[in-house]
Structure 1
Amino acid sequence: MTAVLYGYWRSGAAYRLRIALNLKGVVYQTSGIDLRTGAQRSPAFLALNPQGMVPALEIDGLVLTQSPAIMEWLEETRPNPPLLPATPQDRAQVRAMAALIGCDIHPLNNLRVLGAIRSRFGADQAAVDDWAGNWIGAGFTALEALVARDGAGWCFGDSPSLADAYLIPQLYSARRFNVALEAFPHLLAVERKALEHEAFARAHPDRQPDAEG
């Protein structure tokens, strides 16, 4: 049975999972959940994911949620090609890069948080951009140093890893918030390489069935 990915075309978490699925060669179909209309709170979707968040993945008779958990599950059940290095210390470094984005940057610029900033504190778009840019810039400054130290074409070493699957969607988001990226040449070099890779290119938001025209 073909896997089904429930996501939103512009969701960073769904974007990173699409990259991982593509890198692993998993065949899947997409089911768009429009976060702007509240489709994530529909009874049908809440039956799949009681948290009401994307992505969710139906695969192998399971319903999996939370992109970090799903990506680790993919690594365990479909180990080739590997998205984590061979040694425990190197795996820890890749996981740290991924967590830097997934824990310390992305949650602070997702739709729920930005909606709260707008509704509860009256933030306009300039204030929202400033908020998001502050956390993106701080995280990217640290990540730039890590990639400069450990990267060899990709975030870590010379092959794609979980860290790259996290980075590329966050660079996409950074541009949406008008974040200046010139200070991060190593991250931009990884992005150029990634966008030439079919697994990353097919995952791009603009190529999703539910993308805006």
Structure 2
Amino acid sequence: MLRFYYHPLSPISRRVWIALLEKALPFEPILVNLNGEQRKPAFLALNPFQHVPVLVDGDQRILESLAIMDYLEAKYPEPSLMPQSPEAIAQTRMVQLVTMNELTTKLPALVMAQVSGIPDEDILQHLATGFGFLQEQLGDAPYFGGDRLSLADITAGAAIALMVRLGVSLTDYPALEAWHGRIAARPSWQQTEPDAEGFSVWQRWVSLRIKRFQRQKART
């Protein structure tokens, strides 16, 4: 059976978690407590970079969420989460990489802005550019790439769900807002959505890590 090493509050773990559920694959979830367990020898043997998720399938060990999702798609192709045309494949990867490089990287700043109560206008403008791009890619389709959920929806959805909970509005992007409501209603999203307490824990964890990094940087 597949073994899935994860933490339920990790948005990066959530991508893989949703993919496993959407594919209806049996797996053993193995919680990695990120208050130090990720630095213990047992987990370092799986991932020397000390982060989740990790997927183990027999003798095969896969790190990094995109690599894991690609592996699941190649080895367990039904139901498919990857469109087949070259254009749709390129669009899927574009949406994934824009989400990871341009949107997910702004989550820490959004958390700190919510803590301080002072919006970061530069970050909001950057997100507006990203949302505009995603709405353009979505077009009139219910999902990125067509009528069926894809890896693009999973990657973008896991990030945007957090941004909405952090107070970012999608009102200016009606197609994207409708898409967000559509995926949020899926059982896989509801099963993996952190409750209010878990979301608060994640916010505190992110803000503490940022403050710790800022103190260390100030000392150098």
Using structure 1 for the length normalisation, give the TM-score: 0.80
Residue 193 in structure 1 maps to residue 191 in structure 2? no
The aligned residue for residue 30 of structure 1 is 29
> Aligned partners of 1:129 and 1:44: how far apart in 2?
41
> Aligned partners of 1:52 and 1:134: how far apart in 2?
32
Secondary structure at 1:4's aligned position in 2?
strand
Residue 172 in structure 1 maps to residue 161 in structure 2? yes
Q: Which amino acid aligns with 2:37?
A: A
Query: Residue 48 of structure 1 is aligned with which of 46, 49, 53?
Result: 46
Give aligned pairs, total: 197
Which structure 2 residue ranges, 5 or more long, are not aligned? 202-220
Q: Which amino acid aligns with 2:8?
A: W
> Aligned partners of 2:165 and 2:119: how far apart in 1?
8
Contact 1:9-1:15 at 8 Å conserved across structures: yes
Query: Residue 146 of structure 1 is aligned with which of 115, 137, 154?
Result: 137
Change (3 A) 1:67 1:24: same
**Greater gyration radius:** 2
Change (3 A) 1:188 1:60: farther
Using structure 2 for the length normalisation, give the TM-score: 0.77
1 or 2 for the larger relative contact order (CA 8 Å, sep ≥6)? 1
> Aligned partners of 2:51 and 2:21: how far apart in 1?
21
Further displaced range: 126-135 or 171-180: 126-135
TM-aligned CA deviation for residue 191 of structure 1: 2.0
> Aligned partners of 1:66 and 1:55: how far apart in 2?
7
Query: Residue 58 of structure 1 is aligned with which of 56, 59, 63?
Result: 56
Q: Which amino acid aligns with 2:115?
A: Q
The aligned residue for residue 157 of structure 1 is 146
Contact 1:105-1:136 at 8 Å conserved across structures: yes
Further displaced range: 133-142 or 8-17: 133-142
> Aligned partners of 2:125 and 2:25: how far apart in 1?
36
Considering only aligned residues, what root-mean-square deviation do their CA atoms show, in Å? 2.8
